Structure 1
Amino acid sequence: MDWQKIALFLSFIFVQSLFAGEKSPKEVSVASLLRVGFSPKLVAIWQQKVKAPRAEFFAWKRSLKDKEAALVSKLWKVENLSYPPPTRETKPNVHQSQNNRGNDVLNENKPKTESPAKDPFLEDHLFLGLGYQNLDVQYLPREEKNHSSFAFGGFQKGQRFSFEKRDENFLYGIHFKYNSFHITSGNRYKPIPHFYFAKDPEFYSQMDRPNSPLPQPIQSSHFFGTQNSIFGKLTDYGIYYAPGFSSYPGIYVSSPNKSYSGVWSPGENKSSFFINDTLQLQQFGKHRIQSESILNHKESVGFYYSKSEFVDSNFLVDVTFYRDSPLLYGNVSSGDFRPEIPQTLGYMRGSYRNILGGEVLSSQEGHRYESGGSGFLPIIVSQYGNVLCRYRQYNEVGNYQYQETGRAIFYEWRKDRTVFSIGWERRELGSQWEGKIAIPIQTGHLLELSAIFREGNLKTRSWFENWTYASDFNINLTDREEIIKIKYINQFLSLNVSYSEKKTSPAPILFINFQFLHLIDL
């Protein structure tokens, strides 16, 4: 046995030892598949694919989307699955024939099978996180203008930890697992996907996505829970204590892929519910729904957003509804001053292929009630975008009574999350320019720009389309003379800049938020 064969034998033993404590996909029982939430159809497909060659199995795994992809990912973690890499043949030595060497050259020129895509956040790593925020507003105290944060932590074998400094406070976060049990404690991690639950009012994270080491920063909270099968599906549930949400402890429950989640504090009768799911209702269309609410015996706050597509995606309906109150969770939009009066706003836009349709809006803020409606129709329709004519009615009653009519011309191109929209609207006592650009540059990268410029003596507030994310409220009302917002986001970097001016104030308002995340592989 020459040294090459000895090395091959030892490497084989080493590889097998690495995977000795892990299961292969072929070893997963049907009961385990059903416990995670697999449908009978998906179970049958799984059993068929695990018998296929390695490359075919991973090609199928990469092709999964939405719920099926989430279920397979969940199974991979719960069952600690692994697929040992294929053993490689040794290259022929110098004593082998010329024909064999020629065959090896041909094999090397064959296309290699791509390795399965990996989530970098699920690989063992350390991380560094930086954040800086500046809100330049006249008469605002310095300690409220600037906020900074630094975080260091890691992820290893399913366990997470972080140490961070937010302004002058030193904080920690841990998420430890043992079998089906887990404990989460500190100011960073929580086993529920809620955005506003015990949210730190001075900070927010643009890195909040599945498995991210920097989800939304929270106030001190503690969770103890377990994962068990309920009604045939693996469900996460347990108890928590979060003074930032309620002074009493409570219970929580979350669905397998965290599409649905709820918390309840019986001592205060305060609860919160979260939904983030896509529903395929065949002839009744496709619906993407995002919602989060917080309720107690005094009031309820939160948001609802849905995007619906009907008849081969030709008919589109977007609905936004939110109630914004600082009484329960503080300001929801960094850099935007909101009165101590709850605002309730509802907005709906319906269209045929984004070229013919209408909008309605209703808002109540104390004694100020605003409403309006609009219709738009195409002048020019082409594959390069559409030129639209829009008619919009603005109404306000309460302390003042105003009514205005706007007539506008727009260029628009909308497809999925890509938006190009720029136009000019004329009213009786003034006019406004408005624009919105949203470009998903590639997977995980998004660039957005929103702007509005008001001229003259406009009496009613303008409808301002902010971002495409529901939690950022994609529509709002503004009386600012000028607003420019720019946002760039990817997995490891984000920049959010907002500049605005009020006609009644000589000092502009500038908001800057920068966040950075770096992973160090272990």
Structure 2
Amino acid sequence: MCFLVVQSLFAGEKRPKDVSVTTLLRSGFSPRLAAKWKEKANGPRDDFFLWKRSLTGRDASLVSKLWKTEGLNYPPLPPPNQESTKLTSKKGTRFPDKKNELSHHIETPSGDPSSEEHLFVGLGYQNLDVQYLPREEKNHSFLSFGGYLRGQRMILEKRDESIAYGLDLKYDIYRFTTGNRYKPIPHFYFAKDPNFYSQMDRTNSPLPQPIQDSQFLGIQLPSNGNKAEIGFFYAPGFSYRPGIYFTSANKSYSGVWSPEENKSSLFVNDSYHFQHAGKHRVQSESIFDRKESVGFLYTKSEFYDSKFFLDSTFYRDSPLLYGNVTTGDIRPEIPQTLGYVRGSYKYILGGEGLSSVEGHRFETGGSGFLPMIVSEYGNLLYRYRQYQERGNFQYNEIGKALFYEWRNNRTVLSIGFEKRELAGQWEGKIAVPIQAGHLLELSAIFREGNPKTRAWFENWTYASDFNINLTDREEIIKLKYVSPFLSLNISYSEKENSPMPILFINFQFLHLFEI
């Protein structure tokens, strides 16, 4: 009985393991001390306190200060004869996933940056080096300053030659958001500024996706410790008429709707776990409009202790969605609808299929791959792929590839060569999660000869964990480093028989000041 009373007192308190790496580093922890904290916090309770008491000097002071400012508690474990509550997944039961954050294909730290008062400064610069493109469309920069004070967020920034602002104000259950930066919905597409995008866009980030001038007024509804929200919005960049919006308590579902224009947008980012049907991840964002609808849907399923995988991505892309902004990705000149599905056993045996419609160009393809050598140091795989083009041309092409691949959780290393009848291509990709919230990516393709059909280029984007596109470029190299406070995005590509390569560079920086 005493244990139940103590447990109830601490039921809503934060434990050491709930403190994110972002919060630790912002509190002055060194990377070594932060890593040790996470290691001990995820271990036995007694070990954590033995380590805590062993600290001296600055480390001891930082840990003690964090313990007080975060209001941490570490309740004792139940006695051996006390049956603890177990989370058992039953058929048809949904469980939240710790990785359920939309974060440009990286794990988002679980801490809440807005839980402490702070000021911040952010800056960014991008250059798109394309011949004949006007200077004002090649270069864009921003400088922003703001803070989180007494539960309110505010920002003032200079975007190119314009001044923008953002306010996110809360009073009791009411919330009012206005300006060009903050919105209560996690949509990336919604009223986006066509000249800017944010690599820092994640839950509670001081620098979410830049938007065009928008206003939101809503009420927050408490639900299981979180707050759902519903209200009204006015955003001429999305629709000229006002509408309504909603977002779920866990921010996994969100939508906007303008009834007079019959225009809406839907956002989904959730995970599901079924005892006999595996684990499933869904990411989606779309804009439904009478003139032109766009969006994407990405799903990933794992079955039988993560031995069988099924990935799929479907999207409708359009130049109207991006305006003048580019992130170095390959974008179609006209609307494109593409679907891709891949099934595999441990990523070493399986197949994939692709279908794309772009104007009068219709392309399909399918492939199978199987292991030739399997080891703990990586696998040597053989791939047979068929390419077909219908519409403007009548092309059939066969590709036979041999490549090396090593995977460990979210770490991927792959390099290989595909031989076609009149051409060949080198493919490579690397994804390395350095630590929580930090990801280094490299992807490249080099084509030679005279291929009749376009290549399938695997591409990571800010929108989903995985995407794939078709490209006829002779060479593409993409390098990206993303963290909560720094990002670098470099893309270089060349087209066959063209003297005009495209170079894209984007750099963004964010620094917090505690007050």
- Normalised by the length of structure 2, the TM-score is 0.80
Question: 1:288-437, aligned counterparts within 5 Å?
Answer: 288-328=281-321, 330=323, 333-336=326-329, 338-437=331-430
Following superposition, the deviation at residue 353 of structure 1 comes to 0.5
Following superposition, the deviation at residue 327 of structure 1 comes to 3.2
The yes-or-no answer on 1:482 pairing with 2:475 is: yes
Residue of structure 2 equivalent to 1:35: none
Q: 1:140 aligns with which of 129, 133, 144?
A: 133
Judged with a 3 Å threshold, the aligned counterparts in structure 2 of structure 1 residues 232 and 449 are, in CA distance, closer, same or farther, namely closer
User: CA deviation digits over 1:253-312, x for unaligned, max 9?
Assistant: 100011000100011000000000111122111011110010022332100011110011
Q: 1:223 aligns with which of 205, 216, 223?
A: 216
Question: 1:70-469, aligned counterparts within 5 Å?
Answer: 109=54, 115=67, 116=72, 119-228=112-221, 234-328=227-321, 330=323, 333-336=326-329, 338-467=331-460
Following superposition, the deviation at residue 508 of structure 1 comes to 1.2
Judged with a 3 Å threshold, the aligned counterparts in structure 2 of structure 1 residues 482 and 61 are, in CA distance, closer, same or farther, namely closer
User: CA deviation digits over 1:470-518, x for unaligned, max 9?
Assistant: 4486211111100000000101000000001111311211000000001
Following superposition, the deviation at residue 468 of structure 1 comes to 6.4
User: CA deviation digits over 1:117-154, x for unaligned, max 9?
Assistant: 96444311111100000000111111110001000001
**Relative to total residues, which structure has the larger helix share, 1 or 2?**
1
Following superposition, the deviation at residue 230 of structure 1 comes to 8.0
Following superposition, the deviation at residue 235 of structure 1 comes to 2.1
Q: What 5-or-longer segments of structure 2 have no aligned partner?
A: 21-51, 73-109
CA contact (8 A) 1:466 1:472 kept: no
CA contact (8 A) 1:325 1:331 kept: no
Q: Distance in 2 between matches of 1:108 and 1:446?
A: 33
Judged with a 3 Å threshold, the aligned counterparts in structure 2 of structure 1 residues 518 and 452 are, in CA distance, closer, same or farther, namely same
Q: Return structure 1 stretches of 4+ with deviation > 3 angstroms.
A: 45-48, 50-54, 57-61, 107-121, 229-234, 327-333, 335-340, 468-473
Following superposition, the deviation at residue 349 of structure 1 comes to 1.0
The yes-or-no answer on 1:499 pairing with 2:457 is: no
Which region of structure 1 is more displaced relative to structure 2, 202-211 or 295-304?
295-304
CA contact (8 A) 1:305 1:470 kept: no
SS of 1:247's equivalent in the other structure is: coil
SS of 2:238's equivalent in the other structure is: coil
Q: Distance in 1 between matches of 2:17 and 2:322?
A: 40
Following superposition, the deviation at residue 47 of structure 1 comes to 7.2
Q: Which amino acid aligns with 1:133?
A: Q
CA contact (8 A) 1:345 1:362 kept: yes
Q: What 5-or-longer segments of structure 1 have no aligned partner?
A: 1-44, 65-106
CA contact (8 A) 1:150 1:165 kept: yes
Q: Distance in 1 between matches of 2:55 and 2:11?
A: 17
CA contact (8 A) 2:330 2:471 kept: no
User: CA deviation digits over 1:331-381, x for unaligned, max 9?
Assistant: 675235645521001111110001100110111101001110010000011
Judged with a 3 Å threshold, the aligned counterparts in structure 2 of structure 1 residues 368 and 476 are, in CA distance, closer, same or farther, namely same
Over aligned residue pairs, what C-alpha RMSD do you find? Answer: 2.6
User: CA deviation digits over 1:6-37, x for unaligned, max 9?
Assistant: xxxxxxxxxxxxxxxxxxxxxxxxxxxxxxxx
Which region of structure 1 is more displaced relative to structure 2, 210-219 or 393-402?
393-402
- Normalised by the length of structure 1, the TM-score is 0.78
Which region of structure 1 is more displaced relative to structure 2, 481-490 or 413-422?
413-422
SS of 2:477's equivalent in the other structure is: strand
SS of 2:473's equivalent in the other structure is: coil
Q: Which amino acid aligns with 1:224?
A: L
Which region of structure 1 is more displaced relative to structure 2, 465-474 or 316-325?
465-474
Judged with a 3 Å threshold, the aligned counterparts in structure 2 of structure 1 residues 469 and 160 are, in CA distance, closer, same or farther, namely closer
SS of 2:276's equivalent in the other structure is: helix
CA contact (8 A) 2:113 2:204 kept: no
Following superposition, the deviation at residue 401 of structure 1 comes to 1.6
Q: Which amino acid aligns with 1:309?
A: E
SS of 1:283's equivalent in the other structure is: coil
State percent identity of aligned pairs. 68
Q: Which amino acid aligns with 2:18?
A: R
The yes-or-no answer on 1:62 pairing with 2:18 is: yes
Residue of structure 2 equivalent to 1:92: none
Q: Distance in 2 between matches of 1:332 and 1:127?
A: 25
Judged with a 3 Å threshold, the aligned counterparts in structure 2 of structure 1 residues 230 and 459 are, in CA distance, closer, same or farther, namely same
Following superposition, the deviation at residue 466 of structure 1 comes to 1.2
Following superposition, the deviation at residue 329 of structure 1 comes to 5.2
Q: Which amino acid aligns with 1:325?
A: S
Larger Rg: 1
Judged with a 3 Å threshold, the aligned counterparts in structure 2 of structure 1 residues 391 and 285 are, in CA distance, closer, same or farther, namely same
